[in-house]
Structure 1
Amino acid sequence: MLSRLLAVLVLLSAMQAGGEARAEGRLRIVEQFGTVYLPLHVLRDQKLIEKHGKAAGLDIHVEWTKLSGGAAINDALLSGSVDIGAAGAGPVIVLWDRTKGSAEVKVIAALGEQPNYLITSNPNVKTLKDFTKADKIALPAVIVSQQSRLLQIAAEKEFGEGKYSALDELTVTLPHPDATAALLSGSSSITAHFSNPPFQEQALQNPKVHKVLSSYDIMGGRITPTLLYATSKFRNENPKTFKALYDALNEASQWIETHKAEAAETYIRVEQSKLEPAFVKSVIDNEDVSFTTIPQGTFKYAAFLAKIGAIKNKPASWKDYTFEVLHDKPGS
């Protein structure tokens, strides 16, 4: 983990050194791990941003970077190291709150609807109340990540009003690939993982691993787990680049919905994954999964974050923290 942290710091330093100036036609995107980022993989593989840029008379150079956890991505965005972040609704809404009146970070689009599973290798854990101090729950970033906030919402429902932090002391920070490996190894202290597709499905193939609950269970229905976001400064200074990105995202989402097999192959190709294409296709074929740029259920996160004091500015609606390009859509 120390070597990974040092590598991230070196990467951000290098990006920062060359990333002060902003101009139409340059786009720096940071993503994370999993099939929730499949629309970005399609953008990259098919060069859709470049395609839509050319249609507007603009040559766009796209740079791609990968980090783990919304906190690291928020830092990269605010430092000017990247232009576009991709993270969970929890970290994004917190950043919107903290930059209100300054950088004005807002949501560009959703990356679809996919459930997150809390899974465990501890046969004694059937509900949240079964976890003990001997358990360690891995997630992308303690307290601030999407999975961490979901766990807090679930904990308050399980243990009572105001007890949202009841399981925080059991959580540890690990990227999804590392957490999956640790859980499956059986030799680490990690006994649970609040995961992400396809890592959760991969882990569940092991008969010693079972699901405790789903983010859909916690939030009472389908929700958007991951959002694409940027500063208003970037949006205002790069209207053509912004539009090319948004149009490309819509094209990618629609293409995935009608080309699941090819989309699975795209994921494997871009991620250099060793997973079988049929397995990845089964993950994105799940009836609980859909790819759309319209955010769903995000205001539930905002209301929770405001209630526990994680944000100071409670939005009146989901439109407060999204760019106007989404406002005529049936979001929530």
Structure 2
Amino acid sequence: MRRRTLIAGVGGAAALALGAPGLRAQPREVRLAEQFGIGYLPLSIMKVRKLLEEEAKTRGVDVTTSWVRFASGTAMNEALISNNLDFASGGVGPLLTIWARTRGNLDVKGVAALNAMPLYLNTINPNVRTIADFTERDRIALPAVKVSIQAVVLQMAAEKQFGAGNHTRLDHLTVSMSHPDGMAAMLSGQSEITAHFSSAPFQYQQLADPRVRRVLNSYDVFGGPHTFNSVWAMGRYRTQNPQIMAAFIAALDRAMGMIKNDPEAMADLWIEDQRSRLPKEETVRLIRDPENVWTTTPMKIMAFAEFMHRTGGIRAKPDKWQDVYVEDIAGLAGS
């Protein structure tokens, strides 16, 4: 009796292990974040077309995705470190900040770039033509004071304008605001916000207003195109989920291909996903604009890193851009 009972028990356990109905492994949830703006178009495509789910399935992994939108990369970093997020996205400033802070422990690294896009500092103050014209009566809205990519570019521009040691000269004029709120505040003409350092499409929408002029273009600061947005994750996530990491990069590559091959359809997708009021013609124009480069290749990361390290923004400096990103993309022609 004991022997028959044992055999039956083993057989039952084997049946369960082989995947009885209802007892198969549940899909893995992947938690991803995006921000406001057309710079996150590749992520919108991944979300709507379920590209990550498809690529993961081809690698033998079932996943579900949950997406959340943040106003800045700083808030995402907090969510990532508290284990409430798997993939964060944002500008180079927040990426380098968390990379430097987590070296040797959480080891946060970039997964891939999302684009190379210029950032415009616009103003409604008719007396401001260069950043040297800002006064105590001005306030500059940007996603996060000191650490957002806009804040870092403003410091770089200030150093060029006012000389070494003066990179923080305009910091006290900056205010942390989401892009929609910053644009609304500036254009209202009733706020302390007289300038907005933002991104597409907000910067272009602002320039349609005759009161608005461009004060600064980030491409001028760098002498050419630079990465605007990237995606990053904790090192242990890649170690524990290599198939998901590979699936993410493959899905992102597919999204880039869709942007190149059918910009009009991708414009429709983005407008619907973001509930944007931007006209389709303008959205297509932004997607096709040669200054907006849709690529996973990191560009001028070392220029950001060297400045931030030299001025105390980050304590550690990478030797090469590959130190900041996962080894999966180390073969790309980045900088």
TM-score (norm 1): 0.92
Structure 1: which 5+ runs fail to align? 1-22
Q: Does 1:109 align with 2:108?
A: no
Letter in 1 for 2:189: G
Shift in CA distance, 147/181, structure 1 to aligned 2, threshold 3 Å: same
Structure-2 separation of matches of 1:143 and 1:246: 30
Letter in 2 for 1:212: V
SS in structure 2 at match of 1:312: coil
| Counterpart selection for 1:295 from 269, 278, 298 | 298
> CA offsets per residue over residues 179-202 of structure 1, 9 Å max, x none?
111111111111000011001111
> CA offsets per residue over residues 215-254 of structure 1, 9 Å max, x none?
1011111000111000011001111111111100011012
> 1:26 deviation in Å?
2.1
Q: Does 1:315 align with 2:303?
A: no
Match of residue 176 from structure 2: 173
| Counterpart selection for 1:97 from 82, 100, 104 | 100
Moved over 3 A (4+): none
Letter in 1 for 2:145: V
Q: Does 1:304 align with 2:316?
A: no
Structure-2 separation of matches of 1:98 and 1:236: 19
> 1:71 deviation in Å?
1.1
Letter in 2 for 1:96: W
Structure-1 separation of matches of 2:54 and 2:188: 44
- Asked whether the equivalents of residues 112 and 293 of structure 1 are also in contact (C-alpha less than 8 Å), the reply is yes
The 10-residue stretch of structure 1 (275-284 or 91-100) with the greater mean CA deviation from structure 2: 275-284
| Counterpart selection for 2:274 from 271, 274, 289 | 271
Q: What pairs with 1:177-326 in structure 2 (closer than 5 Å)? A: 177-326=180-329
Give the count of matched residue pairs.
310
Structure-2 separation of matches of 1:75 and 1:48: 26
Match of residue 31 from structure 2: 28
Match of residue 15 from structure 2: none
Q: What pairs with 1:38-187 in structure 2 (closer than 5 Å)? A: 38-187=41-190
Identity level (%):
42
> 1:290 deviation in Å?
1.3
Letter in 1 for 2:49: Q
Letter in 2 for 1:323: V
SS in structure 2 at match of 1:28: strand
Bigger CA radius of gyration? 2
- Asked whether the equivalents of residues 27 and 64 of structure 2 are also in contact (C-alpha less than 8 Å), the reply is no
> 1:24 deviation in Å?
7.6
- Asked whether the equivalents of residues 254 and 291 of structure 1 are also in contact (C-alpha less than 8 Å), the reply is no
> CA offsets per residue over residues 8-63 of structure 1, 9 Å max, x none?
xxxxxxxxxxxxxxx98321001111011000000011111011112112211111
SS in structure 1 at match of 2:315: coil
- Asked whether the equivalents of residues 74 and 148 of structure 2 are also in contact (C-alpha less than 8 Å), the reply is yes
> 1:123 deviation in Å?
1.1
> CA offsets per residue over residues 108-152 of structure 1, 9 Å max, x none?
000011111000001111111110010000000111111001100
Structure-1 separation of matches of 2:138 and 2:219: 23
- Asked whether the equivalents of residues 257 and 290 of structure 1 are also in contact (C-alpha less than 8 Å), the reply is no
- Asked whether the equivalents of residues 254 and 292 of structure 1 are also in contact (C-alpha less than 8 Å), the reply is no
TM-score (norm 2): 0.91
Structure-2 separation of matches of 1:160 and 1:298: 22
